[in-house]
Structure formats: structure tokens, C-alpha cells
Amino acid sequence: MVAPTLPEKCGRGMWRAGAKWAVGATLLGAGGGAAAIASSDDPSTSLKICTIVPLRLFRDAVTAAVIAFDYKYSFWGVEEGSAEWLKVRHEVHNRCAHRIQELCFRNGGIYIKLGQHIGQLEYVVPQEYVQTMRASMLKRCPISSYDQVRSVFMKELGHPPENVFAEFDPVPLASASLAQVHAAKTHDGRKVAVKVQHIHLTDTAVADIVTVDFLVNFLHRCFPAFDYRWLVDEVRESAPKELDFLFEARNSEKCLDNFRRLSPHIADSIYAPKIYWNLSTPRLLTMEFMDAAEITDVTGIQRMGIQPADVSKLVSEAFAEMIFKHGFVHCDPHAANMMARPLPSSKWNIFRRKKPQLILLDHGLYKELDFLTRTSYAALWKGLVFADVNAIKENSVKLGAGEDLYALFAGILTMRPWKRVIDPSVDHLVLEGSEGDRSELQMYASQYLPQISELLRRLPRVILLMLKTNDCLRAVNHALGQGSSLETFLIIGRISSEAVLESKKMLNKRSFLWGLSIWFEKILLEARLFGMKVALRLLQFRKYLPKGMPA
């Protein structure tokens, strides 16, 4: 979120500016709060909310000023690039990451969501921030009391949960940044999961976004080269949609419909919980209860008779279909939002294995890719998998990376340095997940952080969300034991190539010669993918050979 180096022009005036901003922001919040109370239909609730907003503004201002001060003066007299400088930079990153973490927890609501975004931007923001947020933001989410849950029910349905359902567990199964989930049973005996929004979250969301905007803009003024205002823009656009659970419900149904229409070969393997519309409102969502294992619960997955490797391949295939063919993408696929179970129609095979079914949860954050963006992104990934330098450059430029930053864009997408991206070897994109890999990537991320910030400024926001989605999927595959496997990249290469061919067909449907050239290109693609599969099997076979034995 902040720079590893400091512009010389950020002098002592920064601290005074931060203090003035703290006072001004607090007064602004108080004035806005008074206006809200006067115009509200529920003055008592608005009064409670508006007493919170100035306090949040003050916390934001103090945190921003302390961070700016820390970055400015911790490096005073330290030679840039020296061992001491690297040590100081790591310590400052850690301190400031924990300050932002504490701010997110104290303010709650949209701030938690922002912290989760940061935790999913590996190698795009400093690692200290990623690791701090990732270690805590999914585990320490706020929990509403049962009285607060009852209050939401009364406001939304006019009855308490114990009247709406035959059974309702007051202890939540899980809690997230915006809501928590309770187990319940309907009066006709069906077990359901009820997602209940944290109380007053809708009322405070707008104010939260404004205060976050103040924070990020202040830090940008202090460190102009490091611009993460796009992250606030994304939260501002996505938050209202994520706070409307009916919007989420419609997304889940549209997602499944896309698989049935556009990817029928795996449609049965993708599932989303059934929605009980008569028991759902914008702040309450009643869904079918899923008896399945969390996507990273390797032991639980194996206990059900399905293999983690098969689950990993299904995850890769499902999201490649969404990104390259549907253009309607679930952009929050972290471990808590996916589950796996045996495909209901699946039977044991001779190896005592069943086919998996992927269950997608939390459909609040989706992004649509228009035809040109989707096609260029598919062509870019095809170029990355097949190490096609011209295709990588051409499509990176189309997506906004520019002639100067296309190599960096390719590196961020694949988490590999440019020399590996263009290496013609079949496993050139595979990440082993070793400490050496991680150290190398962190070195590149630190070295090119100003360029990364500039790249993020140029790219369309929908592509920035694809970067986040890639990071989430990479983390899930790593937990399943696959890492960034060659099998994963073969799946991406096949589906992205199919999407490119389909787009070519759409652009010229009537020409016989054009159709013939596409058919020939498809034959060459199949041959190329077959060769890569053979190479994959040989690489896997070599792993089982005793050391020193020739392959």
C-alpha cells in the first residue's frame, strides 16, 4: 500500500498536514452526521451511526499520519540499497501493516473487506502487508450477537428467527466481513444455511468508503509514485452489490446457467446452493445447507473418496471456463468460498475414487469481461502457456500494459521472471513453491514496486480483479498440493485457446476458407496439447526414478 522508498519532498510538513487533516476530517464527519440525523427516518439509529463516523475518521487520520511519519524518518541517514536499509524497510513495512490491520479491526465493516483485498494481492503490494492481512482478515471477522441477529430478522421479515424457522442455531457456523451464517431448519424439515448481514452495515458503508478514500488519498499525496486509489474505487463499486444479498442470489443462478449453456461438459460438476427466495431479502439470504468439505480440507476431501488433485483440476477448469468463455467471473474464490463433495451421480471406480463436484459460495463479487477484453485476455494466456513472445506483447498492450510494461504484466500474471515466461520448456511456468522461488519473487516485487504501481494504474479494474482471482486460485491449488502445476497450465492453455478460436469463428461466420483455417488451427492446437501431455507424463515418470538412474 505504501512505498519502500521516500520522495525527498515529503518533509516535516507531512506530520503537520496529517494533524490538520485529522481535525478537518473529524469536523467533516461530525457535520455530515448532523445532516444525516436531521433527514433520517430513524433518528436514534442515525445518531448511533453518526457518533461512530467521526471517530473512524479520526482513527484514519492518525493512522495515516503515523505511517507517513514512520516511513519518512525511519530511513533518515540510511544509505538506500544497503543491508541496513533493507532491514529498516522490512521493519517499517511490518509496523505499518500491523497499524492498518488494527485500524481495519477497530473500524470493522468495509475496512475488513479492504484488508482482505490487500491480503489477496500477492507480489502487488509489499509482502509484509499481504502476509499480515492474510494471516488475520479471514479469521478475526466481527460476530453479531443473537440480539443483533434478531433485530435484522425483525426489520427484514417482521418476525424473529425462532418464528421464521422450526429450528435456528443462535451460534453462527462462520462469520465474514459483511455477514455471518447460521444453521437452521425450515418448518417442512429442510436444513438450510441463513446468511445474516451485520447490523447497521448498510447504513455505515457509504461513510466507510469515504473515510477509506481519505486515508488512501492522503498516503498517495505523501508518496505520489505509489498509487492504490484504484483499490478504493473497486471497493466503492463492489460494496453496494455485495451488501445486497438478492443481487448475490441472482449471480449464483446466472453462474450455473452459464455453465449449463456454455460449458455443458462440466455443468454437473459445478454447484451453488439452492436459494429459498421466500425467506430471503437484501440483508438475509436463506440457502440450501451444504454437507461438504472446505476446498482446502485435504483430509476431509480424501475421506469422501475424492482426490485433491482431481479437485484442483476441476477448480482450474471451472474458473478458466468462467474467465475465457463466460466472461462472468466469481472474483472472490478464496478457501472459505469453495467446497467440494463427490459428484452425486458418481460411483466408485476401480481405484476407489469418485469424481468431485465444486460448490461455489458467496456470489456477491462478480465481474463481467466484455468480448474484446475477454478475447485479449484469453489470447494473452494462450501466449503465456505456449511462450509466444509476440502474442504476449500484443495482447498485453491491448489490455493497457503498454510497450514498456508488458514483460512486467506477464511476470505478475504467472509469478515468474520474464526469462522463465519466454522459456520454451514445457514446465516454464510451474512454481515449485520452494523458499527459493518465494525469495526470488519477493526480490522482483521489491525491485519493481514503482513500475508495478504504474502498471496497476494503467490496467482496467476488471483485469486487476483477475489478478486477485489468480492469486486466490493459486493459493487454493497450493493448499491442495498442486501448486502451480503443469496440469493447471495445460488446462488454462486448452480453454484459452478454445476461446480464441471461438472468437475468430464469431468474427467471420460465412467464409469457407476462414472456417477451414480455423479447423486447421484447431488440429495444430490439439497436436500441440497432446505433445505437452506426453511431456507431462515423462516429467511425472522421472520423479519416480531412483536418483542417478537415466530417464
pLDDT digits (tens, 9 = 90+) for 18-50: 444 444 544 444 454 444 444 444 555 555 556
> Is the CB of residue 119 less than 8 Å from the CB of residue 140?
no
User: pLDDT tens digit string along 473-501?
Assistant: 988 988 887 555 778 888 999 999 999 98
Q: What is the pLDDT of residue 110?
A: 79
Q: What is the pLDDT of residue 10?
A: 38
* DSSP string across 305-339: T--HHHHHHHHHHHHHHIIIII-EEE----GGGEE
User: pLDDT tens digit string along 81-100?
Assistant: 788 988 998 899 999 999 99
pLDDT of 250 strictly over 90 = yes
CB atoms within 10 A of CB 103: 21
Quote the DSSP letter at residue 124: T
β-pair partners for 270: 358
> Is the CB of residue 16 less than 8 Å from the CB of residue 218?
no
Burial of 534 (0-12, 13-18, 19+ CB in 10 A): exposed
Q: What is the pLDDT of residue 445?
A: 65
Amino acid at 277: W
Q: What is the pLDDT of residue 43?
A: 53
Distance of CA 113 to the CA centre of its chain: 11
Region 227-253: mean pLDDT is 87
Q: What's the rounded Cα separation, in Å, for the pair 432 and 424?
A: 18
- The SS3 call for residue 418 is helix
Degrees, nearest 5: CA angle 535-541-543: 110
Strands 284-288 vs 328-330: parallel, antiparallel or unpaired: unpaired
Q: What is the pLDDT of residue 466?
A: 92
Query: What phi, psi does 484 have (nearest 5°)?
Result: -95, 80
pLDDT of 232 strictly over 90 = no
Q: What is the pLDDT of residue 510?
A: 64
Q: What is the pLDDT of residue 147?
A: 95
Q: What's the rounded Cα separation, in Å, for the pair 531 and 96?
A: 49
Q: What is the pLDDT of residue 231?
A: 75
Of residues 68 and 516, which shows the higher confidence score? 68
Q: What is the pLDDT of residue 443?
A: 66
Amino acid at 381: W
- The SS3 call for residue 516 is helix
Least confident of 355-369, 435-449, 525-539: 435-449
Q: What's the rounded Cα separation, in Å, for the pair 258 and 268?
A: 12
Establish how many alpha carbons lie within 13 A of residue 20's alpha carbon, considering only the half-sphere containing its beta carbon.
6
Q: What is the pLDDT of residue 351?
A: 66
Burial of 68 (0-12, 13-18, 19+ CB in 10 A): buried
Q: Percentage of residues in the chain with pLDDT exceeding 90?
A: 42
> Is the CB of residue 117 less than 8 Å from the CB of residue 231?
yes
Least confident of 38-47, 148-157, 219-228, 355-364: 38-47
- The SS3 call for residue 436 is helix
Q: What's the rounded Cα separation, in Å, for the pair 124 and 130?
A: 9
> Alpha helices of 108-200 — where are they, by DSSP H?
110-119, 127-136, 146-157, 161-164
- The SS3 call for residue 505 is helix
CB atoms within 10 A of CB 248: 24
User: pLDDT tens digit string along 134-153?
Assistant: 877 766 778 899 999 999 99
pLDDT of 226 strictly over 50 = yes
| pTM across the whole model | 0.82
Q: What's the rounded Cα separation, in Å, for the pair 373 and 375?
A: 5
Region 380-393: mean pLDDT is 94
> Is the CB of residue 10 less than 8 Å from the CB of residue 225?
no
Burial of 145 (0-12, 13-18, 19+ CB in 10 A): exposed
Q: What is the pLDDT of residue 331?
A: 93
Region 396-415: mean pLDDT is 92
Q: Which of 13-22, 101-110, 116-125 has the highest mean pLDDT?
A: 101-110
What mean pLDDT, rounded, does the chain reach? Answer: 82
Of residues 158 and 38, which shows the higher confidence score? 158
* DSSP string across 448-500: THHHHHHHHHHS-HHHHHHHHHHHHHHHHHHHTT-SB-HHHHHHHHHHHHHHH
**Active-site residue numbers?**
332
Burial 253-282 (b: 16+ CB within 10 A, else e): eebbebbeeebeeebebbbbbebbeebbbe
